[in-house]
Amino acid sequence: MGILTLKNLHKSYKHGNNITKVLKGINLDIKEGSFVSILGRSGSGKTTLLNVISTLEVYDKGNIIIDGKDISKMKQSQINNIRNGYIGFVFQEFNLVKDMSVLDNVATPLILNGISFKEARKKAHIALEQVGLEQYTKVRPPELSGGQQQRVAIARAIVNDQKIILCDEPTGALDDYTAKDILELLKELSKTKTIIMVTHDEEFAKTYSDRLIMLVDGEVLKDETTNKVVLERENRTKDLKEKKVGFLNLLIYSFLSMDIDKRKFGKTFRTFSISLTLFMVTSVINQNLDVFTDKYLRFFVQSEVADKNIVLDFIYQFLEQNISSMIQVILFILIGFCIVSYLFVFTINIINKKREIAVLKAFGASQESIALLFMLRPIKFTLSIFKDTLGYTLILVLLINGVFDFKSFIVADYLEFFLNIFRVTYGVLVSFFLNFNSGLILFHIHYSHVFYLFTVVLVLFMLGSLIPAYKISKANTIRMLAKE
């Protein structure tokens, strides 16, 4: 028995009441260290066969045996483990995570296998050396050519010492010259691994493959061996103890693998930061409303002015009786607007990450791990938003504490003017970092104010992100990676 055995494999798709039979009793035995090309017209079932072999698509009946392990008798967690340990993927459209470095893209299967980032990156660097791209570890995939991106994808497919490399039209998006380079690389890898390639190009298949399999209407029409297979390593069974990706790995990965298009959503995040700033500063004012009224609304509280003007008197009476309630309403409107806006933006981004979710599933990530990863991703952006918010807030708190004493400046008492700047700035910073009211200022903000708000907002965002992420992780996203 070879590294991969298929016995009487059937697969069909349902479309309403109609059933389309795609694979009709496939029987194959593939030796380790062979380069197998699967040929056939569109609709012949070759990509479906690859998807079923990959364990990403369920089949109707039959058996798939990988290195002596019958996956039909396994739980989903064990199948994920088999996929992570045995199967590497090379897709036509590369399917690299664009906002991650080349090194971290390659390290992804190891990270999902619970290996520490330090060790995963070390092995990823070795894999990149094997494909001749060790000098590009820090760049992102869009900065590379198509051929280089495909080499990165190959490095990702071999980094976990995967025995079987599944290639779906790996040269379809490349020119002939670059395609030959990629096929030469795959041919070299087939000395120690099993390469199974779906392709339309019969000439390339004959040139580089050891075995040609022709599918017609879901059945094997032709199966011929063109070269003798020689494995350049000992045939050994992999140790596949079930491993968890780990919370720390997911947390670090969440910071690396998620960027939001700031050109597209930058205004939303600035609005969010400004709204949170107004929320905090208005809260500070509300806690010291009498002081604020006396300092900045003194014109309204001067009775001789109010008595002479019925309109001013009415405004003053209205503010005195209702300003606290008005401030509370404004605060909750602002924070509600922030949360709804942020969740809307983040949900759009999760939907746009369907392809990445499919890639994570392809390399063995469970639905729970994917959902947890996307639930952790708001941490990065909440920190970024609160960093801006904190800067805006401290500036406004300095201003409402009268950091610029223009009265001293007007009377040319410059020493007092600059001493006031120092006093207020020092008082605000002491009040904030030491979490107590400084006698140097009137309006105080403490780090605890920011921390509590950060915690509430973050929890809401994490819960709001979890729901769409979990739904998408449950969906059948394989069709985004491979097309018939």
Mean pLDDT along residues 241-270 = 74
Residue 158 belongs to domain with CATH number: 3.40.50.300
Question: 10 Å Cβ neighbour count for 290?
Answer: 7
Domain match, 289 and 223 both:
no
Domain match, 129 and 14 both:
yes
Does residue 75 fall inside a structural domain? yes
439-458 pLDDT, tens digit per residue, is: 888 888 888 888 888 888 88
Domain match, 270 and 207 both:
no
Mean pLDDT along residues 132-137 = 89
Domain match, 155 and 198 both:
yes
Mean pLDDT along residues 151-170 = 88
Does residue 114 fall inside a structural domain? yes
Mean pLDDT along residues 139-159 = 89
Highest mean pLDDT among 95-109, 169-183, 221-235: 95-109
What's the whole-number average pLDDT of the chain? 80
Domain match, 64 and 172 both:
yes
Does residue 249 fall inside a structural domain? no
Mean pLDDT along residues 201-220 = 87
392-438 pLDDT, tens digit per residue, is: 989 998 988 888 887 787 777 888 888 988 988 998 898 889 888 88
* pLDDT-derived band at 321, boundaries 50, 70, 90: low
Domain boundary among 183, 211, 228: 228
Domain match, 266 and 144 both:
no
Highest mean pLDDT among 74-88, 128-142, 237-251, 335-349: 128-142
Domain boundary among 179, 204, 228: 228
pLDDT at 50 over 80: yes
Task: Give bridge partners of residue 24 from the DSSP assignment.
Answer: 10
Say which range, 56-65, 100-109, 240-249, 297-306, has the weakest mean pLDDT.
297-306
Domain match, 185 and 290 both:
no
* pLDDT-derived band at 15, boundaries 50, 70, 90: confident
Domain match, 177 and 319 both:
no
Does residue 253 fall inside a structural domain? no
Does residue 407 fall inside a structural domain? no
Mean pLDDT along residues 144-169 = 88
Domain match, 220 and 270 both:
no
Domain match, 291 and 220 both:
no
Does residue 375 fall inside a structural domain? yes
Domain hosting residue 313, numbered range: 262-401+442-481
Mean pLDDT along residues 37-48 = 86
Number of domains in the chain: 2
Task: Give bridge partners of residue 19 from the DSSP assignment.
Answer: 14
pTM for the model stands at 0.77
Domain match, 356 and 305 both:
yes
Domain boundary among 209, 228, 247: 228
Buried b (16+ CB within 10 A) or exposed e, 136-158: bbeebbeebebbbbbbbbbbbbb
* pLDDT-derived band at 484, boundaries 50, 70, 90: very low
* pLDDT-derived band at 222, boundaries 50, 70, 90: confident
Q: Angle, to 10 degrees, between the axis of helix 146-158 and the axis of helix 102-112?
A: 20
Residue with token string 């070299």: 188
Domain match, 222 and 343 both:
no
Does residue 195 fall inside a structural domain? yes
Does residue 449 fall inside a structural domain? yes
